[in-house]
Amino acid sequence: MQRIITVAGGGLAGLVAAITCAEAGARVRLLEAHHSLGGRARATAPPYVAHDGPHVLYCDGPWWRWLAERDLLGPFSGVPLRGLAGFRFRHDGRMRRTPPAALLRVLARRRRRAPADVDFHTWIRGHHGERAASAASNLMGVATFDADPGRLSAAFVWERLLRVFAPNPPARYLTGGWTGLVDRLAGRARALGVVIETGARVTGLPASPVIVATSLDAAGRLLGTALPGVHSGRTLLLDLAVRADRRDAFVVSDLDAAGWLERYTLPDPSLAPPGESLIQAQLPLREGEGRAGALARLEGLVGQALPGWQERVTWRRHSIANRRTGALDLPGRTWRDRPAVERGDGVFLAGDMVAAPGLLSEVSFHSGIAAARGALAHRP
């Protein structure tokens, strides 16, 4: 009798793993504790569709190609031309339209290779000086969700900087956000025969082969063992809907505090009602910093980016994303040092904090594929 591969977790990693197994002819059962799929790709219900962090895909990676081959991308858009004029940089407390010259010199040296055993700030400072190192480090708050990206491995941060800030930006916005992507992935899985059960909390490790596509903490409880520690970001998210004003910035990079602000309705107007803009601002929390202090700092950034925003607000929420922003590699470590996908005895891990390469959601994709291949090859 054909064995059943069980997937615990219905986020991006779990859905990719389930689809990969089913495409190979396996019987697959996917169990999701919540009553909806998506994991951290869930979003608020319309009319304001807000996500837990940036929700772009990068068209220069294998995750994009995998989706395109299966016609799962749906409608999308790139960075709009009119948005380029809306880029802003906060530096030395002031808002400016162009990055500082010191940062431009860093961005121009794209052929350079960064070491993994040195922190990013020290590496950049050695080539361009302290001001360039500070600006380049804080620029990467958007991809690390860390208050001090400069403390991370130079190789880790540099790889992400080169992709996020490429001359031809590879970021793509899926119309409707991640929710539509999750629905398309689930539809593909069901069409292949995957049995999906929501509201099905897994309290014990299912029979192998099994793919555990949950948070590391939940995976450790299922496996009955403590998994190696992985650093992850802790950031404050502020989602705002405001009545539209053509003076509003499209993107603001906070080169003083590693913050970021983006007006998502510019490339995708479907995320808010007509005449309104949906904005997400984020600010990584400093060591020991509380919510109130971080919110006051973040509102200061919003005030510089959106003139008169408080009188224009139609909807808002804020939250802290703690250890929900993917793995961060410290100096001397790479993605290979994270918890291994294969755990032995037919058990495999998947998610954005395990041993797999990629930028943001690409780690979930790579680990989902690797876990699926391991489960398919497993022989008791």
Q: Indicate the pLDDT class of residue 264, thresholds 50, 70 and 90.
A: very high
- Give the mean model confidence (pLDDT) for residues 177-196: 97
Q: Indicate the pLDDT class of residue 47, thresholds 50, 70 and 90.
A: very high
Task: Identify the CATH number of the domain in which residue 191 sits.
Answer: 3.50.50.60
Q: Is residue 38 part of a domain?
A: yes
Q: Is the pLDDT of residue 266 over 60?
A: yes
Element at 171 (helix H, strand E): strand 171-174
What is the predicted pLDDT for the residue at 80?
85
Contacts (Cβ under 8 Å, ≥6 apart) of 135: 91, 99, 100, 102, 103, 106, 255
φ, ψ dihedrals at 280, nearest 5°: -120, 130
- Give the mean model confidence (pLDDT) for residues 316-328: 89
Q: Which domain holds residue 366?
A: 4-44+177-230+338-377
- Give the mean model confidence (pLDDT) for residues 259-285: 97
Strand ordering across the sheet containing 313-328: 94-96, 87-91, 251-254, 259-263, 276-284, 231-243, 313-328
What is the predicted pLDDT for the residue at 16?
98
What is the predicted pLDDT for the residue at 324?
75
As a whole number of angstroms, the distance between CA 28 and CA 35 comes to 19
Total number of domains in the chain? 1
Q: What is the pLDDT of residues 124-140, one digit of tens each?
A: 999 999 999 999 999 99
Q: Is residue 152 part of a domain?
A: no
- Give the mean model confidence (pLDDT) for residues 159-187: 94
Q: What is the pLDDT of residues 209-248, one digit of tens each?
A: 999 999 999 999 999 988 888 999 899 999 999 999 999 9
Q: Is residue 91 part of a domain?
A: no
Q: Is residue 256 part of a domain?
A: no
What is the predicted pLDDT for the residue at 229?
80
Q: Which residue, chain included where needed, has tokens 């499209």? A: 250
Percent of the chain at pLDDT > 90 equals 91
Q: Is residue 220 part of a domain?
A: yes
As a whole number of angstroms, the distance between CA 50 and CA 263 comes to 11
Kindly report the number of other CB atoms within 10 A of residue 323's CB atom: 16
What is the per-residue burial (b if ≥16 Cβ within 10 Å, else e) of 108-129?
eeeeeebebebbbbebbbeebe
Q: Is residue 321 part of a domain?
A: no
Q: Is residue 145 part of a domain?
A: no
Q: Is the pLDDT of residue 1 over 70?
A: no
Q: Is the pLDDT of residue 263 over 80?
A: yes
Q: What is the pLDDT of residues 352-369, one digit of tens each?
A: 999 999 999 999 999 999
